[in-house]
């Protein structure tokens, strides 16, 4: 299983807009820059995994270096290279709407963007499906080519495939010869029925408005606000119905201390320290947590995971955001991404465990995951904006819809490929299904699961700039503010800050997994 880093629009677009301005050429260049790395990564991975025995066989057959590469190594690595083609195609399709923002043609991406601006959700959904359905088709086709090489009895013979292509080309030639000027387009289509879809969706949002507003307010005031400003700021009569008295604050501190001591005794002093820090963070919130302590903790964690170089990288990156005046947007980004990642890991991990245990559930979840994975990021804003209006809760829903696929896929994949003899041995010792899951399967699948955690964080960070369109005040919003002011320096710093968080989180997870178990999967 391979993967590539999701899209981070701000660092990609900022230097291009600075150098070339707006226009379709910039959209083309940005799409190429974004879609190229998956092909590079998968090509390198495929060539690195060519067995030495095959290379030696080519050399013993008298191949030159060029023949060795083109006739031995490339054919062997072709399945992995085709996966790169799949990922590159998906990446290019996901840039359709982003390219429309920076001055692309009036294509389907512009249709989605303009429909969202006009609150025409029916037209937005139809336009989004026009992008998503071909993306799903291309995704399944290219993956089938990648997995089906080597003789798949379920596929048609090559001569039938070639004959079908020839007949299709001949039909196209005859149609164009018979109707040289005809557009051959239907006079009416689904677009004409978008008004009815808009009315139905607005009626749905209106009829169930109280339900959606209640859900949004419950999460906003019970979860999002406490994480942002802390229990000390959220526990007020206006928000929670009561004030945080000194006695309640003392009781909270004693509870955190007791939990830290209990975890330290059970799992070691590191778990106790983490529990104490989490308790302090919940009390003060991300905005109120002291920045010297935050930078020190990040640097120590980086040193533990990757040594002095990673520690200096972490300290310098956070220091740059501090001196550049981006600390408050950083805290906004962190709290929103942390909450989205935690919810995705809990919900997506549970779905992955369920899918790994049941083929029927897997058959239902896999197509849904395919659809979520191939949809452009802007499409996730449509349902969230339609039902929950503008706000941080809408941004949270959009981020979760995009970031929930990696834990589902990687947890399911890791559990399905755990060694069967180990599981059987645990079951023969009298372990219950829950004990076998938590004490055998998940520890053995940990490297793959943590790869999913890494990809979930990447996906959440990549949605920051997209979620800024619905009212967040984080680093993504800083990018759009800089675009409006033509402030290239501010735009570049905000974009690089998002990229810094993505790189640092990936290196921390890689170092943690590598320290617990050798042989971390490639692509982490």
DSSP codes joined into one string, 319-375:
HHHHHTT-HHHHHHHHHHHHHHHHHHHHHHHHHHHHHHH-HHHHHHHHHHHHHHHHS
Which pLDDT score, from 0 to 100, does residue 522 have?
38
CATH for the stretch 9-178 = 1.10.3720.10
DSSP reduced 3-state for 155: coil
Q: Which parts of the chain have pLDDT scores under 50?
A: 1-10, 150-151, 153-154, 518-524
Half-sphere exposure of 233 (CA within 13 A, CB side): 17
- Report which of 414, 415, 407, 395 is spatially closest to residue 454, judged by C-alpha positions: 407
Cβ contact 200:122 at 8 Å:
yes
DSSP reduced 3-state for 429: coil
Structure tokens at 209: 């408005």
Delimit the domains of the chain by residue range.
9-178, 225-516
Q: Is 396 exposed, middle or buried (0-12, 13-18, 19+ CB in 10 A)?
A: buried
Mention the CATH class of domain 225-516.
Answer: mainly alpha
Which pLDDT score, from 0 to 100, does residue 131 have?
75
**pLDDT tens per residue across span 288-312:** 888 999 999 999 989 988 889 999 9
Phi, psi for 401 (deg, rounded to 5) = -60, -35
Q: What span, in angstroms and rounded, lies between the C-alpha atoms of 166 and 158?
A: 12
Q: What span, in angstroms and rounded, lies between the C-alpha atoms of 157 and 152?
A: 10
Which pLDDT score, from 0 to 100, does residue 106 have?
67
Q: How far is the first Cα of the chain from the last one, in angstroms, to the nearest whole number?
A: 11
Q: How many residues does the chain have?
A: 524
Measured in whole angstroms, how far is the alpha carbon of residue 471 from the centre of its chain? 20
pTM above threshold 0.85: no
**pLDDT tens per residue across span 495-508:** 788 888 888 988 88
Whether 9-178 shares its CATH topology with 225-516 is answered yes
């Amino acid at each position: 299983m391979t993967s590539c880093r999701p899209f981070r629009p701000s660092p990609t677009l900022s230097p291009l807009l600075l150098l070339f301005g707006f226009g379709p050429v910039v959209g083309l260049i940005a799409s190429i820059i974004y879609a190229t790395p998956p092909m590079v990564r998968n090509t390198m991975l495929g060539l690195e995994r060519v067995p030495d025995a095959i290379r030696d066989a080519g050399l013993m057959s008298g191949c030159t270096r060029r023949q060795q590469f083109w006739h031995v190594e490339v054919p062997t690595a072709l399945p992995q290279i085709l996966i790169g083609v799949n990922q590159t195609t998906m990446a290019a399709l996901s840039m359709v709407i982003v390219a429309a923002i920076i001055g692309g043609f009036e294509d389907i991406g512009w249709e989605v963007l303009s429909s969202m601006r006009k609150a025409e959700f029916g037209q937005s959904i139809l336009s989004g499906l026009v992008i998503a359905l071909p993306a799903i088709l291309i995704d399944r086709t290219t993956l089938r080519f990648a997995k089906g090489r080597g003789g798949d009895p379920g596929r048609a013979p090559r001569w039938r495939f070639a004959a079908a292509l020839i007949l299709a080309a001949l039909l196209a030639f005859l149609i164009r010869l018979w109707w040289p000027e005809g557009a051959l387009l239907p006079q009416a289509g689904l677009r004409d029925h978008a008004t009815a879809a808009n009315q139905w969706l607005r009626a749905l949002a209106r009829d169930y408005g109280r339900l959606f507003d209640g859900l949004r307010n419950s999460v906003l005031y019970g979860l999002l606000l406490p994480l942002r400003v802390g229990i000390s700021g959220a526990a007020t009569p206006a928000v929670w119905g009561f004030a945080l008295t000194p006695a309640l604050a003392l009781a909270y501190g004693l509870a955190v201390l007791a939990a830290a001591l209990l975890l330290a005794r059970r799992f070691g002093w590191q778990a106790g320290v983490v529990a104490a820090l989490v308790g302090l963070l919940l009390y003060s919130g991300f905005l109120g947590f002291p920045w010297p302590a935050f930078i020190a903790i990040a640097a120590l964690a980086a040193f533990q995971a990757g040594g002095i170089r990673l520690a200096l990288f972490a300290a310098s990156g956070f220091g740059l955001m501090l001196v550049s005046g981006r600390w408050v947007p950083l805290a906004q980004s962190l709290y929103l991404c942390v909450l989205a990642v935690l919810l995705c890991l809990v919900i997506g991990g549970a779905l992955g465990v369920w899918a790994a245990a049941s083929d029927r559930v897997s058959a239902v979840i896999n197509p849904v995951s395919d659809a979520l994975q191939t949809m452009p990021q802007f499409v996730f804003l449509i349902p969230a904006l339609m039902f929950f209006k503008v706000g941080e809760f809408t941004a949270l829903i959009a981020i979760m819809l995009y970031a929930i696929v990696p834990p589902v896929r990687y947890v399911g994949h890791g559990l399905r490929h755990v060694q069967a003899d180990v599981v059987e041995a645990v079951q023969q010792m009298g372990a219950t299904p829950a004990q076998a899951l938590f004490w055998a399967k998940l520890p053995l699948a940990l490297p793959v699961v943590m790869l999913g955690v890494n990809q979930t964080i990447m996906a959440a960070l990549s949605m920051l700039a997209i979620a800024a369109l619905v009212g967040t005040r984080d680093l993504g919003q800083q990018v759009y503010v800089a675009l409006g002011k033509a402030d290239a320096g501010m735009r570049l710093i905000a974009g690089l800050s998002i990229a810094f968080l993505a790189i640092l989180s990936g290196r921390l997870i890689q170092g943690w997994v590598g320290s617990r178990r050798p042989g971390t999967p490639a692509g982490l």
